[in-house]
Amino acid sequence: MKCILLAAGYATRLYPITKNFPKPLLEVADNTILGHILAKIEKVDEIDMVYVVTNDAFYNHFREWASDLKTGKKIVVVNDGTSTNETRLGAVGDIRYVLEQENPDDEIMVLAGDNLFDFELTDFVSFYRQAGTDCISCHVIDDVERIKRTGVVEIDENGLVVGFQEKPAEPRSNLGVPPFYLYKKETLPLISQFLDEGNKGDAPGHFIPWLLRKKEVKAFRFEGQRYDIGTLESYEEVKRIFEKR
C-alpha cells in the first residue's frame, strides 16, 4: 500500500502566516501538522511509501522537512509544478498527477495534509480489508451549520454507502465525510476518467458521488475528533487542544 498526502494548497484563509510557508508544516504541540499525520501512518505496516504532493512554491520547504525525518517509510516529495492559487490542480488533480508521475502499482491511501484526527489508521485499514471495497471515512457531526460545509454520507447497517451529498443545504444525515480514503488498485484509472469527463476536482470528496455510480463503496465510521485546520481561529484552537494533551 502507498499513501498520498495532499499538501499542494495555498491556504489563503490562513494569510499572512501561510503566504510564504505551507500550512501542513505549521507547528502544533512540538510537531508539524504533517508530522502528527505521519506518526499515524508509521503504525500501518502495509504502507511502505508516502508521496507528499505539493506545489512549486513550497517544494523546497517539504524537501527540507523530509530530509530531517526519522521514519521507516520512504518519503517522496512530488512537485505538481503550480505556483499560484489560481493555477492549482485541485486535490483530485494532484492525486492523478502523482499516479501519472510515480506510477504506484498498488492500492492507495489518500489523506489531506491539513487534517488532524484521533482515530488510528490501522483501524481504517482493517475495516478496508474486511470490506473488500473502496472505502471512505465518516464521523458524527452534531453541529448542523458545520455539517453543511462538508460531505454528508448515508450508510446502511453494513457500512455500505447508500447516499452522498456535497455541502448540502439540508443534510440527510449527521455523518460528515473527512478527506481520508482507501482506493483499490483497480479503481485508480477511474480518477483520470473522472477528470477527463470534465468533473470538478478541487476537493477530494467530489470524486466520491461519481464513483458511487460505478462501484460499491463502504464507509469506516470512526470515533473521536477530527480537526480541519482551515482558518487562523481553527489553527489556534487546535494548538490549544494539542498542547493540553
Per residue of the chain (245 residues), what is the pLDDT tens digit? 999 999 999 999 999 999 999 999 999 999 999 999 999 999 999 999 999 999 999 999 999 999 989 898 999 999 999 999 899 999 999 999 999 999 998 999 999 999 999 999 999 999 999 999 999 999 999 998 889 988 899 999 999 999 998 888 999 999 999 999 999 999 999 999 999 999 988 888 889 999 999 999 999 999 989 999 989 999 999 999 999 98
The predicted-structure confidence for 18-50, as pLDDT tens digits, reads as follows 999 999 999 999 999 999 999 999 999 999 999
**Which H, E and C letters describe 113-164, residue by residue?**
CCEEECCCHHHHHHHHHHHCCEEEEEEECCCHHHHCCCEEEEECCCCEEEEE
- Taking only the tens place, the pLDDT of each residue in 69-93 is 989 899 999 999 999 989 999 999 9
CA 216 → CA 40, 128, 154, 169, 209, distances in Å? Answer: 27, 12, 13, 26, 11
CA distance 93 to 100: 10
CATH class of the domain comprising 2-244: alpha beta
Task: Sketch the domain layout of the chain as residue ranges.
Answer: 2-244
